[in-house]
């Protein structure tokens, strides 16, 4: 049986983990076995650049952190090596980055995930992974709003140019 100090440390870790999960809009659990140091470093760099918190977690501690929540159903995948990627802002970034990496690797696999506190199946995670980044989506929306205005401006300019030619 662990001593009181070790038990207190583990309880603190579980509380911190619970807080991170509660604050996240999306999270992905992965089995990271077989990944080499260079690939892991590149993966962590890309996740960090996209404001995704990624870390290795013990299955028992994660199991305790999700106990009694809507995410308790993920306990069934908590075996082997487990890492978790959490995002507090971007719904698609963890799924997009980890799915792309998993497609290139034979041993790195996505185990489970959640969105807004509800478990997402692997098909949903795959669909979210195919979404473009937030910046691309915003650019598309802005382009859609600008298109009619730009077309109107070109039409007005054509009328002005045509009237100017007739006056000469």
Residues 6+ apart with CB under 8 A from 57: 17, 82, 83, 84
- The three-class DSSP label of residue 130 is coil
- List 109's β-bridge partners, or say none: 31
The predicted-structure confidence for 81-130, as pLDDT tens digits, reads as follows: 999 999 998 888 899 999 999 888 888 899 999 998 888 888 888 888 88
Fold that domain 4-131 belongs to in CATH? Alpha-Beta Plaits (3.30.70)
Considering the entire predicted model, what is its pTM? 0.74
């Amino acid at each position: 049986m662990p001593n009181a100090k070790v038990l207190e440390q583990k309880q603190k870790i579980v509380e911190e983990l619970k807080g991170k999960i509660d604050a996240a809009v999306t999270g992905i659990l992965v089995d990271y076995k077989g990944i080499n140091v260079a690939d892991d470093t590149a993966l962590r760099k890309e996740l960090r650049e996209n404001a995704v918190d990624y870390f290795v977690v013990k299955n028992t501690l994660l199991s305790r952190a999700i106990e009694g929540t809507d995410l308790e159903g993920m306990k069934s995948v908590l075996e082997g090596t487990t890492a978790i990627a959490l995002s507090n802002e971007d719904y698609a970034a963890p799924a997009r980055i980890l799915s792309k990496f998993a497609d290139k690797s034979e041993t790195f696999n996505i185990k489970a995930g959640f969105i807004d506190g509800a478990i997402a199946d692997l098909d949903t995670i795959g669909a979210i992974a195919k979404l473009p980044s937030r910046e691309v989506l915003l650019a598309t929306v802005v382009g859609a709003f600008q298109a009619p205005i730009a077309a109107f401006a070109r039409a007005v300019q054509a009328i002005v140019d045509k009237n100017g030619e007739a006056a000469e």
